[in-house]
Amino acid sequence: MYRPGLSDLEAVIAISRRASFRAAALDLGMSATALSSAIGKLEADLGVRLFNRTTRSVSLSDAGRQFVETVAPALDSINGAMDAVRSRQDVPSGTLRINAFAEAAREILSPLVLEYLRRYPKVHIDLVTEGRLVDIVADGFDIGVRVADLVPSDMIAISLGRPRRFAVVGSPDYFTRHPKPIAPPDVLAHQCIRVRLPNGALFKWQFEKTGQPVQVDVAGPITLDEANLARTAVLEGFGLGFFMEQTIQDDVATGSLIRVLDDWTPAYPGLCIYYPGRRNASAALRAFVNLARESRFAHKPESG
């Protein structure tokens, strides 16, 4: 007799959350085919369809919605009980899931994530990078990494220290054909590489000097949604770009890009790791938080 396990129930919750078998399979670390087969067996055992599937979409059936509404709280209780037991571990183990945008992941990988794995080899870290802002609790993550002012107010946050700056750059070839801007309004006369944010909005370039903020809605020949693509377009001389300083500092150092408006781009709050204030945090989570706190990057007090 087929008996569904916790993994089957967690699969249903993951699919309902992501509205996609493929995305849920990635979250669960399995193939979409294996996930589809598991759900098929569960539906056969229950005698009802939990999901309505088309080639373009996945949604809960009425029975599936009722099932999720009943199962989700029970799974939360079970996971809470497991967290309570894990919190008593002497040696951190298990899986720690972290969500970050790509640039933040690159910044913390060596000094924090890899150092953590050296200290705690029984822990597996699942680091997921994506531009969109996610609810780390609803999406099954233990830790998020974001710029300080994007951390939800109900989370505990630890600053990783390093302030961040934007930089306006262009290629030497571009500046042989165009004068360098002296003040933010000057960029309106330039070709600029536009960037689309994860929420679909176009990013407006942010400047500030002596407490005077200036926001410029630039125009240009192309709109992109990924920093490396925008960097390539700027290196090829298609226009000015607006980047986080760390992204293009090597290009500036080698002369491949020229920085302008430096006095209009002050430092902003740096990265934070953040996590929910669970009463029974796992030993793995506690160890990561402690490492972040003692890290040479973390110099500001914990908040939240």
Instruction: Domain ranges for the chain, please list them.
Output: 6-86, 94-162+270-294, 164-268
pTM for this model (two decimals)? 0.58
Task: Round the CA-based radius of gyration of the chain to a whole number and report it.
Answer: 23
Domain 164-268 matching CATH 3.40.190.290: the answer reads yes
CA 238 to chain centre: 29
pLDDT of residue 176: 96
Domain 94-162+270-294 matching CATH 1.10.3720.10: the answer reads no
Contacts for 201 with CB less than 8 Å, ≥ 6 apart: none
Average of per-residue pLDDT values in the chain: 86
Contacts for 166 with CB less than 8 Å, ≥ 6 apart: 205, 206, 242, 243, 244, 245, 265, 268
CATH class name, domain 6-86: mainly alpha
Write the single-letter amino acid at 171.
S
Give the angle subtended at the CA of 103 by the CAs of 101 and 106, to the nearest 5°. Answer: 110
Average pLDDT estimate for 150-163: 84
| Residue 10 structure tokens | 């967690």
Same fold, 6-86 and 164-268: no
Query: pLDDT, tens digit, for every residue of 178-199?
Result: 999 999 999 999 999 998 876 6
pLDDT of residue 302: 46
Phi-psi region of 183 (alpha: psi -120 to 50; beta: other; left: phi over 0): beta
The pLDDT of residue 167 is above 50: yes
